[in-house]
Amino acid sequence: MGRHGSTALRILAVAAAYYGSAKLGLLQQLVRDQVTPLWPPTGIALAALLMLGLRVWPGIALGAFLANVFLGPSLLSVLAITAGNTLAPVCACLMLHRAGFRNELDRLRDVLALVFLGALAGMLISSTIGSGVLVLSGAVDAGDFWPTWSVWWTGDAMGILVVTPFLLVLRKARWPSRAGPGRWLEAVALALGTVSVTLLVTRTPDSTLLFLVSPFLIWAAFRFRLPGSAPCALVVSTLAILAAAGNKGPFAGEDVFTVMVTLQAFNGTTALTALLIAAIITERDRTYEEIKQVCVRLAEMVARMEPRPESYELPPEDDPPP
């Protein structure tokens, strides 16, 4: 298969992933069956651009068009929304490349770039275009522009913060061959504890209990770095969104604005805690390894520079008298 055929397959794969995740995301809609608090396709789109290159952008456009064409309100509106959904991750990718972003997310600067350039700044494009189109087409009242915009923007931003790191980690995930039974037991305990506590706090009316999951995120970041913290953040955010969409726990009986503030404050804290601590710990580990290697090299240099003791020949002894 030639280069063009491989690119075409990648574009179709991105389109299929975008469309499939869009169908899952729309199950948790909060506004007009079209705007959700977590939009996974945005995270998939940015991850695809970062891993496969900008040449797969037609897959994002195709997936966005197929996801919105049956939602309306008109073909022209769908094309405009598709353009916004495509431009947002493309612009976010370009800004990240300009900032020297690395897909490993092993530096604090990479996490901060993903948060501020990829999520917060880049997603202004899709939310503004999308909300404006819904208002101009009459699908949403003019007075509902800002609530719709806030849900759209935070949903796209959360897709970047939660889904993109998980996919970047998943690409380089390898089965740990040297992990002992104790390590596996710790991983299972972490997974079960994270799910159990999240289910408990998202079904309890008291919203202050939501942050009881933070120790598990810190545990994952310290012990398993990004490969542990990214999946934990994804699971926690997903369970919280399911509770919000089902009007359960701290989200019961609240209006859309209150639900969004509570939910996205929680999800934002979850994602930032997981990503920032994991990046700081990884950066510390790398610095420690670099210092250790420098010390080894210095020791070798000092060993080569030490003067060697000179060997002296003893003068011949006088012959004994006869």
> What mean pLDDT is predicted for residues 201-205?
89
pLDDT at 245: 78
pLDDT at 313: 55
Name the percent of the chain lying above pLDDT 90: 52
Dihedral of the alpha carbons of 176, 177, 178, 180, in degrees to the nearest 10: 80
Q: Which helix (H) or strand (E) holds 218?
A: helix 214-245
Q: pLDDT for 8-66, tens place per residue? A: 999 999 999 999 998 888 776 655 455 677 889 999 999 999 999 999 999 999 999 99
Q: Which CATH number fits domain 1-172: 1.10.1760, 1.10.1660, 1.25.10, 1.10.287?
A: 1.10.1760
Reading the block at residue 200, the tokens are 């408990």
> What mean pLDDT is predicted for residues 241-269?
83
Mean pLDDT over all residues of the chain? Answer: 87
User: Using 50, 70 and 90 to split pLDDT, how confident is the model at 180?
Assistant: confident
212-216, long-range: CB < 8 A, 24+ apart:
213/270, 214/269, 214/270, 214/273, 216/190
3-state SS, one letter per residue, for 64-108: HHHHHCCCCCCHHHHHHHHHHHHHHHHHHHHHHHHCCCCCCCCCH
> What mean pLDDT is predicted for residues 208-225?
91
pLDDT at 53: 92
* More confident site: 238 or 320: 238
> Structure pTM?
0.85
In sequence order, what are the residues at sequence separation of 6 or more whose Cβ sits closer than 8 angstroms to the Cβ of residue 270? 213, 214, 217, 233, 236, 237, 240
Give the integer Cα–Cα distance in Å for 168 and 253. 37
Radius of gyration of the CA atoms of the chain, in A: 27
Q: How would you class 79 by CB atoms within 10 Å of its CB: exposed for 0-12, middle for 13-18, buried for 19 or more?
A: middle
**φ/ψ (deg, to 5) at 251:** -100, 0
Q: pLDDT for 116-164, tens place per residue? A: 999 999 999 999 999 999 899 888 888 888 878 888 888 899 999 999 9
pLDDT at 236: 94
Give the integer Cα–Cα distance in Å for 42 and 18. 8
- Give the number of other CB atoms < 10 A from CB of residue 202: 25
Give the integer Cα–Cα distance in Å for 229 and 270. 10
Domain ranges of the chain: 1-172, 181-303
* More confident site: 84 or 147: 84
Name the percent of the chain lying above pLDDT 70: 90
Least confident of 26-40, 183-197, 205-219, 233-247: 26-40
Q: How far is CA 291 from CA 151, 227, 280, 287, 312, in A?
A: 46, 24, 16, 6, 41
